[in-house]
Amino acid sequence: ECLDQMGRLSEKLKKDGFTVSLAPPESYMDITTQEFSRFVNLTYPEPWHEDFEYHGRNVYAYILAKWPCAIDFIFVQFYESYSHAAYQISEVGEDPSQFLVNYLKRLDEEGYIVHFENDPTVGLNNQNVQFPLTKLVLGFANGWALNQNVGVKTIFFDPLCIKEFYRRSNLAKRVRGLGFWVIEEEGKHGIEYAKDLKEILQDSKNKLSVNIQTS
């Protein structure tokens, strides 16, 4: 019922002329798995912090599948606690810029296939959900992710890594934009994401604006 309310409200707002977004934690729209569940008390398959039972499994894909025209952009939170991004970069040692390159390549080449039939109650067929790069906003954590008490729980993407990602990936210019949480933390640990992300987009000749979440 909650998902249907979100979808119907998004559709109405879109018809009324508003710009409508989704801001899923990484696991709520997880391109690494085709599985679907409405539950958000799940664990990730990686052998890493398996006691963290607050992940989803493509739950927001339901909204995008039923109301594809109602959503203007999707702000994916790579800073979800103990995300795939955090695991691949902090634990496996993958280069942060290469992680982003691979993410876009996978989404562009394989699409976003979700097996809704895992849960027959939602009444949707397995399908390739419409999730074009032109709707994707890459969501990062700014300076607060460097707080000592955060540790490896939240991944921090250095602006230089994001800049390198734009240099490496031809797909980057198709992305809707870049964003971060949260404006109140700007300047912490010397991180000025609003300025840095704007410069990255300008340098890459991407004229789309930086998306700043404030609440």
d(CA 135, CA 19): 12
Instruction: Give residue 204's pLDDT.
Output: 82
Whether the pLDDT of residue 82 is over 80: the answer is: yes
Cis peptide before 182, with omega less than 30 degrees from 0? yes
Grade residue 209 by pLDDT with cuts at 50, 70 and 90: very low
Rounded to whole angstroms, the Cα distance separating 76 from 14 reads: 20
Q: Give yes or no for a contact between 75 and 137, defined as CB atoms under 8 angstroms apart.
A: yes
Q: How far is CA 189 from the centre of its chain?
A: 24
| 5 has a pLDDT exceeding 60 | yes
pLDDT tens column, 27-80: 999 999 999 999 999 999 999 999 999 999 999 999 999 999 999 999 999 999
φ, ψ for residue 166, nearest 5 deg: -65, -35
What's the predicted TM-score (pTM) here? 0.93
pLDDT digits (tens, 9 = 90+) for 122-177: 999 999 999 999 999 999 999 999 999 999 999 999 999 999 999 999 999 999 99
Strands 136-141 and 73-77: parallel
For 180-202, how does the pLDDT look when each residue is reduced to its tens digit (9 = 90+)?
Answer: 999 999 999 999 999 999 999 99
